[in-house]
A and B are shown apart, each in its own frame.
Chain A
Amino acid sequence: MQLEEDVSPILSVSGVSKTYEGGFQALKSIDLEIARGEIFALLGPNGAGKTTLISIICGIVNLSSGEITVDGADIGRDYRVARSKIGLVPQELTTDAFETVRDTVAFSRGLFGKTKNPAHIERVLRDLSLWEKRDNKIMTLSGGMKRRVLIAKALSHEPELLFLDEPTAGVDVALRREMWEVVRKLREAGVTIILTTHYIEEAEMMADRIGVISRGELILVEEKAELMRKLGHKELTLHLQEPLSGVPAGFSDYDLSVSPDGSMLTYSYDTNAERTGIGSLMRRLAEEGIRFRDISTKQSTLEEIFVNLVENRA
């Protein structure tokens, strides 16, 4: 008999708002559902509410209104069930100092009510290249190693849903790539991952879906593929020898614009389209005697989409 795939969301956030004492509204009626096994990237500028949202889901901050369930368990009423499914890697490097790596990870497992399982702890430490450091005191480790210890602690109780709050902030490129590898492995093991990041590249590399949060509002949730389609948008800019007063007549088939001083002509096109129209545009310009000194192209990045979204809201 084949078991039916569980399609209910692993995390459901509905109408969640948070107003801190003093009146600052950090979150405004957030609705979000996370599917099992996906990697969801939450993007947003500093102070947008990313960490507040994660902290509420994990039980560190009280919510003002709304409802959150983790695998169907309410985070308030059934907090034991809900929390036992969650692993949290916080943004700050908050570790103990004098404990050994193995002890601190075993402590985390105990805190989540799981009986000892040295084999699991060893697997986690090996996966995170921490096994060699297992008997070292945490205070002797580098920043990158401490970050791994935090991940190991979060994985110690075999969570189904893992929060990575800026996992690669302040981490060098090599370690960042290793972290991505760890995330990939976790995903293969069936763990659902929600990560917040400032690195758009990271979201592009890792995520299945991307959410953008700004000023406490979730302003966009989209499949990464859809966003990447928008990324196909590209601009070709011609630096003209003679300024133009406007888009020349007869070029209405092309998506052209002229800079205010007339020195640049910009053509917007879709790289995914069958024909980009660049060749014909060049020929037409030559026929019309419009000459140029230089050429540049520019692709809109996820970062620009993100910045535009946030600025438009501002």
Chain B
Amino acid sequence: MNVTAIAAIYKFEMARTFRTLMQSIISPVISTSLYFVVFGAAIGSRIQEVDGVSYGAFIVPGLIMLTLLQQSLTNAAFGIYFPKFTGTIYELLSAPISPIEIVTGYVGAAATKSIALGLIILATASLFVDLHIEHPVWMILFLVLTAVTFAMFGFIIGIWADGFEKLQIVPLLIVTPLAFLGGSFYSISMLPEFWQDVSLVNPVVYLISGFRWAFYGTSDVSIALSLGMTLVFLGATLAVVTYIFRTGWRLKS
């Protein structure tokens, strides 16, 4: 195991985050604060409690998830896409490192960043609403599993993308709608029955539901199902990444 190489990639990627502190950390915090002002304070005050939780507090797990999904995905995607774009990928491919070490470095850094962001948003949210976390260990577990899974997904997108448009298209057109429709701002049980069934096709429902359960002990689907589905997504991304490196798809001719 070339631990030094993993550390080098990780450090390189984290340095990128710190160079772009404004864009990386401050902007998600500001946009989350805006969600709180609009949905929590302005609109939320007119909405009754959901599952016994005030609306302002109810949306916190969903908001963290929303940022977590977007950030882990775009960070990992950009992290591996940029060396492809500039050509510096030659160094990664010619270094004595295994695919799993490359993925660990990039995905680890992207996940770390998005988890840090999630925690910052949690801290910001606590300024607006009263928060209590019933199952903190599970909360951290879901946070980490989701960040890693979506960083892997982002890594795949970064390898697949051959232009900036493709890099943007998945987060914008797929992940954001799925996150919004996955129960970030409402409980699935508030939907008509037909749309509840449709929602169950949305993988993000399971992530948000599990994460919200860790906070408040209530969920749309069972916690076992949430955890199981999260692990299935993680397994699926792992399988695709393994395939990519085994075949050199989009990396080696």
Using CB atoms and an 8 Å cutoff, list the residues of chain A in contact with chain B: 20-21, 58-62, 79-84, 86, 88, 90, 92, 94-99, 103, 107-115, 153
Contacts and interface: CB of A to CB of B under 8 A. Distances in A.
The 5 closest A-B pairs by CB, nearest first: A110-B8, A94-B87, A80-B96, A83-B96, A58-B94
A106 to B, nearest CB: 8
Interface of B: 2, 4-5, 7-9, 11-12, 15-16, 19, 86-88, 90-98, 248, 252-253
Contact of B96 (A60, A84, A99, A108): A84
A58 B94 CA distance: 5
B87 A90 contact: yes
A62 B248 contact: yes
Nearest to B88: A94
Contacts of B4: 110, 113-115
A99 B12 CA distance: 9
A61 B88 contact: no
Nearest to B251: A60
A111 B253 contact: no
Given A62-B252, A88-B90, A107 B95 contact: no
Given A82-B96, A94-B88, 6 more contacts: A21-B253, A83-B95, A94-B86, A111-B91, A115-B4, A153-B91
Given A92-B87, A96-B86, A98-B19, A110 B96 contact: no
30 contacts: A21-B253, A58-B93, A58-B94, A59-B94, A60-B90, A60-B93, A61-B253, A62-B252, A62-B253, A80-B96, A80-B98, A81-B96, A88-B90, A90-B90, A94-B90, A95-B86, A97-B86, A98-B16, A98-B19, A110-B7, A110-B11, A111-B9, A111-B91, A111-B97, A112-B95, A112-B96, A113-B4, A113-B95, A113-B96, A153-B91
A99 B253 CA distance: 28
